[in-house]
Every structure is written in structure tokens, then in C-alpha cells.
Amino acid sequence: MPIYSYKAKDQSGKKISGELEANSEEALIEELHQKKLLVLSVAKKKRKTKRDFAKFFSESAFKIGRGVKLATLLSFTTQLSAMLNAGLPLVQSLRGLSTDIKEKNFKNIIQSVEAEVREGVSFSRALEKYPQVFNKVFINLIRAGERSGKSGQILDQLTLYLESSFNLRRKVRSALTYPMVVVAFAILVILFLIVKIIPKFEKIYHGFGKELPIPTKILLGISTQIQNHFFLGFILIILVSGLGFLFSRTSKGRIIIDRVKLSLPVFGPIIKKSIMANFSRTLSILVNSGIPLVPAMRLATQTINNSLIVQKLSEITDEIERGGGVGEGFRKSGFFPEMMVQMITTGEKTGTIDSMVLKAADFYEKQVETSINTLTTLIEPIIIGVIGLVVGGIMLAMFLPVFKMGGVMK
């Protein structure tokens, strides 16, 4: 049997390392779990390079490829799980699913995977050839199911995970998109009034030969400036947007922009809670499937699209790998909510990190849903009120000279 080296912690938090013989990594992890140890990392003794889970997981984690939606992947996983749990062979299941897939790109991929599996290639190895569609979370959970002989159960968990991610992403996107769409539409309406309607009133007002009210003068001045410099303004907007995009591609720029996102009133807490929910659920399913804590942390971190939080979690993971406490690492960062820190600390002490972070994920998802419902209820009348004031102010400034003349005529 191969020899594995391992790092773990007992229930008192003491770091333990050693070497054991085992049939597989899964067998070793199961043996350590039976000893009430929290497994941090496992590696084959004969491997001298550090091409282990940590490096393997350091690549892109949860990015769906072009033309393949998360909803499509969720549907595929759900159906595959049902077919395997019903006792159908993998090859037959893949062949049956490929005939029903509408998206040509994804259909071709599944047909290629089915052909490789039919020739004896493992399912996880076949999926690895399409990293633009099947992320590292997906592939390594499939691999864990193959090694443990529990592919059906793993696919059930993966289905629930993808479903939760899909629903959470849809809710957050809806909450953030609606105000932006309404504001963008309002800006277009205001620009139309300023560029097309107000100039017509200006010609009429010049014919009056009267002194115009100050609000009307200001409005006409703004209209004239926008018309005279419209092309220049458009170029400046494109230039600033391009520079902003280039800045956002730098590591420093990403951190600054992501910090601003988390600091936004109302929206910032929603973004942070949704990230915490996604991270917690990912970590839970990885640890529950038998992947050691440190590589599971690295992989779960890679599913996050906020570089500031990624930086914090990477520092925590490095500290855990050096033997520090899990809960203590989260507490020292000073970034994560105390509730999450306490649940992780409890899970670390009882050896139930997977179930505790799952509870944290459920908690934050409910928090996000509550925040979104509150936001939707409050922001609509606020936006409508602000737009009404702006448009009403423009209309009042436009018709003030008419009202003034009417008063003079009386």
C-alpha cells in the first residue's frame, strides 16, 4: 500500500502530522476522521513535488464557459443524478442526455465525454478536457464520488449546490440590475428632454424679448453646453470607461474597486453576504466529500469574484497550513462577521466544520433574501420620487416663462 503523509488537528486544536499506509487518500481521510481529527492536508509520500490538491485547485474555479449557462449545467447535473441513482449506467445516461440537449456547443461536449467514458476513460478525466465548462469544484467532486463509490450521492450534493448558487446569483443580479435599468432609462429620458425638447422652447423664448427666469436660464445653459460638446463628452465617457476597465484589470485596481463595492450603502452588505453564502456552501460540500480542509479552502476561495475577500481568505488558508487555528484565523482577519467566526470555531472543535459552514450558508442566503425584499420594497418609490423631482424640475423651468407671461397679461 502507498504511504501518505498528513497534517491534522485534534479536538483541542493541537497540530498533528505523520505518515500512514492506506489504500487511497479517501481511506486515510476516513481513518483520521474516525480518530476525531480535522484533516488539513494529505499527500503521497513518494511525491517529491508539490503537485498536490493546493496547486491543482489554484486554477480558475467556477467559471462557466461561453455559450453554456449555469442553468444548463444545473439541468444536466440534476438529470444525470436522477439517472445514476435509478441504476442506469453512466455511458447510457450520458448518451440519453446528449440527445435532449438543445445547445449545440454543450451537446457536442457531452457527446465527446460519453465517447471517452465508453472507451474506458474516467468521467472526471473526460470532464477535465473542458475546463471552460466544468470548473474545478465540479470535476473534483465527481472524482471524489468515483473514488468513494458514491457518485450518485455526490451528484445529489452537487445538484443542490448548483441550484443554491443559481438561485442566489439570480436574486442578487435581479436586485442590482433593476435600479440600474430604471436609472439608465431616466437618464435617457432627461437627455432627450435637454437635447430635443428644450432647444425648441429656447427659440420660442427668444421671440418673447423678455428676461427669462433664473431656473430657465440655467436649464437652457445646460442644454446648450450638452449640444455643443456632445461628441466631446461621448469621447470622454468612452476614454474614462476604457481607462477604468484597464485599471480594474490590475491587481491594485481590482482590490480598490472590490473594496468600493463592499462599501456601497445598501448594496455592499448584500454583495458581501452573498459571497459568504457561496463560499460557505462550497467549502461545506468539498469537506463533506472528503477533501482535506486546506485544499478545500483554496478551491472554495477560487469561486469568489471579489479580490479583497480572496486576499483575506488566502491569508487565512496560509495560516491554517502553517498550523494556526481555523476559527482564530478568521477572527484575526477582522473582516468576517462574528457569527461566521463562532460557527467555524465550533465546527473546528467538534470536527463538524462541513455542517457548521453549511448552516452559515443557509443563514446568509436567508439574510440576502430578506435584504433584497426590503431593498425592492423601498428603492422603487425612492427612485420614482427622485426621477419625478428631476423631470418635474425640468418641466417647471421650461414653463416658468409661460407662467410669468400669463401673469403679466392678467
Structure confidence at residue 410 (pLDDT) = 45
Arch. (CATH architecture) of 70-161: Up-down Bundle (1.20)
Nine-digit cell at 405? 407671461
d(CA 381, CA 244): 31
Nine-digit cell at 391? 423631470
Structure confidence at residue 238 (pLDDT) = 93
Q: Residue 117 contacts by C-beta under 8 Å, 6 or more apart in sequence?
A: 90, 91, 94, 123, 126
d(CA 162, CA 164): 5
Mean pLDDT in consecutive groups of 10 residues from the start of the chain, 410 residues: 79 78 75 80 62 38 55 91 91 91 90 92 91 87 85 88 86 80 86 84 74 85 85 90 88 89 88 90 89 90 89 92 89 88 90 90 90 82 87 86 62
Rounded (10°) angle between helices 267-288 and 151-192: 170
Q: Which residue type is seen at 202?
A: E
Structure confidence at residue 59 (pLDDT) = 36
Structure confidence at residue 115 (pLDDT) = 93
- Are 54 and 295 a contacting pair, CB within 8 Å? yes
Q: Residue 91 contacts by C-beta under 8 Å, 6 or more apart in sequence?
A: 114, 117, 118
**What is the domain class of 263-372 according to CATH?**
mainly alpha
How many CB atoms within 10 Å of residue 170? 12
Whole-model pTM above 0.75?
no
20 forms beta bridges with: 4
For every residue of 37-86, DSSP letters joined together read -EEEEEEETT--S--SHHHHTTS--S-PPTT--HHHHHHHHHHHHHHHHT
- Are 354 and 288 a contacting pair, CB within 8 Å? yes
| DSSP helix/strand/coil, 237 | helix
